[in-house]
Every structure is written in C-alpha cells, then in structure tokens.
Structure 1
Amino acid sequence: MSFRIIGNLCRSTRKNLIEEKLSCFANTKRSMMNVTQKHRASSESSQGDHYGSDSSIHTTVFKRMFKKYKRRNPAPDLSQVVDPHATSSSNILHFQQLRVNDVSDEELQMLGLKPLSEWKLATLPGREGLYIFPSALKEDASEMWLQRAVNYAEPPHVTNLTAHGSSPEKNVLKNAGKSLRWTTLGVDYNWDTKQYPLSGDPLPTELVQFADVITRILKLGPMFADATIVNYYPPKSTLSPHIDRSERTMAPLVSLSLGQSAIYLTGGESLDDEVIPLWLQSGDVLVMHGAQRLDPVVSDFANSSRANITIRQVNPVDKK
C-alpha cells in the first residue's frame, strides 16, 4: 500500500493582512496535535495517522523543502511556489471549467460558494486525485465561515484546551486564543489508540452539506461526512508531514481555506520523492481522493493567524 506525504506551512504572504480575511482551511483531514501527541503518534504502527518527526526525515527531500519554506530569516525564495490563481501556472497545473448538473444554485448560495460558472478546476500532473478550486468561496462568505470556526471551539466541543482541563466556559478564542490549536466535532479521534469510534455526535449540517456538494461537483459523491477537526494556526506555525490512514472509508478529504495564505507541500510515496509547493489562499477548496487520499478574535485573529476546518467521512454508510 502506498501513502503520500503532505505538509503545511502558514506564512504571512501579503503586507496588508487587514485586507485578507482569516485563513480557515476546511479540509477533510485531521491535522493538528500538540507536541506530546506528535511524538506519540510518530511511533511506527500499522494503524492510525502517522506524523513525521525530525529524526525520521532528517536527510530527506521533503525535510529540506519543509525547512526551506519554514525559514523566516532570511525569508525563502517563493518563486517556485505554484499559485493556482496565476495564469503563469498553466504550464504546471491543468485548468478546466466545470459542467455540473446535479448541484443547485440554492445549495451553493447557502454555503457561500460562487456560481459554478465562476469556478475553475486545477489539477496537477503526477498527483492524481488532487483537485484545487481557486477562490470558490464568495469573498464576503469568509467571515461567515470564520465565525463558525470560532463557534466550533465553544463547549461542549472538545479542544486541545479541554483535553488539558484548561478550557474557558465560554468565549474560548477571546479568552484563550493564543493557546487554542484544535477542536473536534462528530466522531472524535482517539489520540492514544489512533483510531475512530464507530459513532459520535452528529456534525453541524453546514459541514456535512459542504463536503457533499464539493464531492458531487467532482462526481465523487455523495459524501456522508461524520468527523471534523478545526485547526487554529498562530503566526509562524506549521503542520508536520504526515499520513492519514485511520478512517474506515476512502471517502475524499475536502478542504476550505480562509484568510491568511499557506504553503501546502505535496509529496509522493516516499519522503525523497519530488515535493511540489502550492499556494492555498482565502476561499480555495482542495480535495484529495484516490492516490492522494492515501496522503499521508475574528478581526485580530484573522490578520495574523490561520484556521483549519477538517471534515471527513470515517464510517461507511449502509445505503439500503
């Protein structure tokens, strides 16, 4: 079985971040762990998600690329980062217009998505199953999704703060935003066993609908999302290279980005395979499926930070 390695770096990429909403990455994959959990999960296992560590990638191509774009002083050369928004990327990415009949304008409007006539689909040769919809979200809808990301951190949802017994009773982002890293919804991942239970609380309807609409647009749906993680990235934060393999289905992973830009590193089956850096910007939607599926407050927060909303389908659904 093959696994692809991915990484994620949150960077300030524009001088005027006030004009850029939050970077909220609605992504159907589990991403953030605290330092202790990372070390625990990086041990070899035949089950569960796998996060790379410095010791495991100290001489690899991926590690060198990760350190390159993570560097702050001097700032890295970003000229090789592939931007799905730039026409100059057409010699690297393949672009196409969409022709979809089974997604209504009402569904798109309800989720804050643009009319399909304004969408374009970007794919990357050699990365089958990786799909990017640049700026699929309406500009004014980013605030709506940002507010939802903030609300998802409120009790009774589990966050890294509740896991350590230090969560405020309300206004979590306002009172503990500097320490907030993730919150989970739906079927809760067990960090100790690196597995999902067979059931959990229902997801908020908008998350289920978002994942379903995106996968239907790609003719990969319907999708029945049942788990989400929201990641909150402060300045200079990163997501280590890792593999997701805990779900009991191979449903796609769907991601929505809002606000501050990030560099997404997509690799191959080995940490020494070619690594391609991609820009993810506010309103972008990224989907991983097939081979890629095996890959491994509001204003101030938006101007300096990034968030990740992660929706996924863990359990199979009996369609009878």
Structure 2
Amino acid sequence: MVRILVTDGMEQTAVESLRQAGFEVVEQHYAPEELGEALKNFDIVVVRSATKIRREHIDKALETGRLKLIIRGGVGVDNIDVAYAMENGIQVLNTPNASSASVAELTIAHMLAVARFLHLSNVTMRQGKWDKKNYNGIEINGKTLGLVGFGRIAREVAKRAKALGMKVIYTDIRGKLDDAGEYEYREFEDLLRESDFVSLHCPYSCEYGPVIGKKQLEMMKDGAYLVNLARGGVVDEDALLEALESGKLAGACIDVFEEEPTHNEKLVNHPKVSVSPHIGASTVEAQQRIGAEIVDIIMNYQF
C-alpha cells in the first residue's frame, strides 16, 4: 500500500478521497530533527509552509529509497531543497493554481486596510479610543499599483485593482510579456519610482537575497506603500523599518516574514504596518482547491 505523510494538515475531503482510493494517509507533524527518520517510511509527503524539507531530511529518506514524491500544497517551494531532491530521483510538485484568488483578495484587503487605517483603528477602538482625527486616509482609486512579478497571483491582483480604479503596471524577470493585455510593462527601477503601491509577487532566492532593500526603498516615491504577500526574505525587514521610521514610506502590508513565526515585534507592532500571519491561502475555497489538486496529482502519479 502506498503511504502518504501529511505534515501540515490537508482539507479533510481530500484526505478521505485518498483513503477511499486505497492510500494510507498519516496526518502527523514532525519536528525537524524527527522528520528525516519518518520520511524513510513513506512514498509521498505533502507539506505546506510550516514543514521544511532540507538536504539532511532527504538523505535520511534515501536510506530506504521509498520516498518518491514531495507535494507542496501551495505555490512557493522555497521550504524544500528542490534541486537536491530531484537530483536524487524524488519529484517535487506544487499546486500553483489553487490559491491565486485568495492571495489576491488578501492583497487588496491589506492595501485598503493600511490606506484607511483599518489596521490601527480596529485596535485603538477596542482600547476605548476615538481617534477619528488621526485617521485621514487616502483613496486607492486613481493610484498606481506596481506589481513586481506578473504570474498567476499578480494577474488576479491586477484585475481587482483595475476594478477599484487603480492604474496597474508590472515588471517581470522575463521582460515585457505578450499576454499581459492592457497592463503596461516597466523596468524594475522605473516601476519603483512611479508606483504609489508596490506589491511583490516573486519567489525568494537565497542566492540573490532580498528584492527590496535599502537601495530599492530609496528609489520609491515619498509616501508610497510596500506590499509583501509573496515570501519572507524578499524584503529586508531592517531596511523596511528604517523607511517607515523616517517617513519615506507611508505604510506597509506584510503577510510573510524572514522568520516564521516572526519575532520582529518592531515590525508587527508598527502603527504604519498592516500585518497577518502568512494567511494568503487560508480560505475555505483555496484549501478545497489545493486538496483537489493534491488528489489529482497523486491519482495520476505513476508509481
């Protein structure tokens, strides 16, 4: 019987579908020091963002040679040593289509929250304060949104931003894209200078480090907003705090952090920052779609 380890939870309908199809599904989270030993006894492992599968875990799994497939329930695979797994005959797949709408909606929600001080007034009103005069926000209608990366999620953000009256521009490592439709391409630095809101939709690379650091923040408009629902590490958190403290940026929207759970209390508690604990894909609908994609991958995998 094919054994599947689910380490970070999975939508229960999907779990039951796999069990009914004859797979053994074990739902269990392992500490990093225990994970490698556990992987020796499974054919497939399904993870989200909490579990990190590194070289040492893969080496342990190779002792039995049983593990054949790692599935990331979600988009980013930076929590998996993909190259090393593939080199050793272990396939790595993700579910890139499932969470785009949910992440896009949260992106817009964060932008509206920070533009209208909802992130702050939700706290201060519960403290008994009526700080109406301190919450003179801005409309996002008529503002320019710059998207760094123009993949699935960014395109969903673009559609929603356009409906709210924003001008949407994009940059992408692939250059100007033939299928970008009405959205205008900019070189990265030009996008930073032109945008009122800069939203990141690109992966993190250990090789290249942060996409947004002190230099890039200095290029941005005075009073602009930075939005990161992509990956922790894409933004230099110390540089971001400096830009917020100096008044260079009017605000920031952050769902992902360099370390998770984050211990960056200065960033989390900053009055100009709207924060959430990496919940971009945390909707009922997204989890159902992720579960369905995982089931489809496993059912069609050639064992």
Q: TM-score higher than 0.5 here?
A: no
Higher relative contact order (CA 8 A, sep 6+): 1
Larger radius of gyration: 2
Short-chain TM bin = under 0.3
Q: What TM-score, normalized by structure 2, do the two folds share? A: 0.24
The structure with the greater share of residues assigned to helix is 2
TM-score normalised per structure 1 = 0.23
Structure holding more strand per residue: 1
